[in-house]
Amino acid sequence: MSTVQRRSYRYVGPPELAALIRPGGEGRRIGSTADLDDWADGLVPGELAEPVTFVVDLDGLLRVASRRSEHVACAGGGRVLSAGEMSFSRESGLWTVAEVSNQSTGYCPDTSSWSAVAEALNRAGLRHPAGFTHAVVFRRCPRCRELNIVRERDFVCVFCGSDLPEVWNVDPSSA
């Protein structure tokens, strides 16, 4: 049996946000629907009406936190297999992921990180869409080094006008 090498992502966002990290991280590990029930029971009423912050940790487990949490705090500062925002709903008494994105400007995960998200959701027994419902394409400009969000497949830096690579390049140290 061979193991698949997965890209992991380190935090590449503002250093001042990394200062928010608490030991163990803010993110609640969700390995089952019972874990999600327990976490949701502790929320302020209505909090699940908005998306939550999520990461998939290096163990392949989903971690969730309030939307007001930074991804780096949710992850406890560690590397992740994916990160973004997710919204939940209950259908016929079962948890369902209604929407999910890779929108995290702290980790800037590639859209290919969906497979890690799907595996974490399957592992937890959560129904989910077939892919990111809102996929964000991140690229770093080779010329000015600014982070860009590519819209409508327009691979041009909004800061300096240079061409952006079509292949993910936000953090060359991520493997």
pLDDT in tens, 114-143: 999 999 999 999 999 999 999 999 999 999
> Do 102 and 50 belong together in one domain?
yes
> Do 114 and 170 belong together in one domain?
no
C-alpha dihedral (101, 98, 7, 152), degrees to nearest 10: -30
Average pLDDT over residues 11-34: 89
H-run or E-run covering 18 = helix 15-18
| CB-CB neighbours of 30 under 10 Å | 25
> Do 121 and 148 belong together in one domain?
no
**pLDDT above 90 (res 45):** no
Which residues constitute the domain of residue 114?
A: 15-130
- Structural domain total, the chain: 2
> Do 166 and 120 belong together in one domain?
no
Q: Which two tokens stand for residue 84?
A: 């973004």
How far, CA to CA in Å, does 15 sit from each of 81, 84, 163? Answer: 20, 19, 27
| CA angle (26, 14, 12) in 5-degree steps | 80
Query: Percent of the chain scored above 90 by pLDDT?
Result: 81
> Do 101 and 42 belong together in one domain?
yes
> Do 100 and 142 belong together in one domain?
no
Whole-number Å distance between alpha carbons of 69 and 73? 7
Residue closest to 162 by CA, chosen among 172, 175, 174, 150:
150
What does the mean pLDDT of the chain come to? Answer: 93
- pTM of the complete model beyond 0.85: yes
> Do 66 and 143 belong together in one domain?
no
> Do 64 and 94 belong together in one domain?
yes
> Do 125 and 154 belong together in one domain?
no
Inside any domain, residue 1: no
The CA-based diameter of the chain, rounded to the nearest angstrom, is: 52
> Do 122 and 152 belong together in one domain?
no
Whole-number Å distance between alpha carbons of 39 and 42? 6
> Do 67 and 21 belong together in one domain?
yes
Whole-number Å distance between alpha carbons of 133 and 153? 17
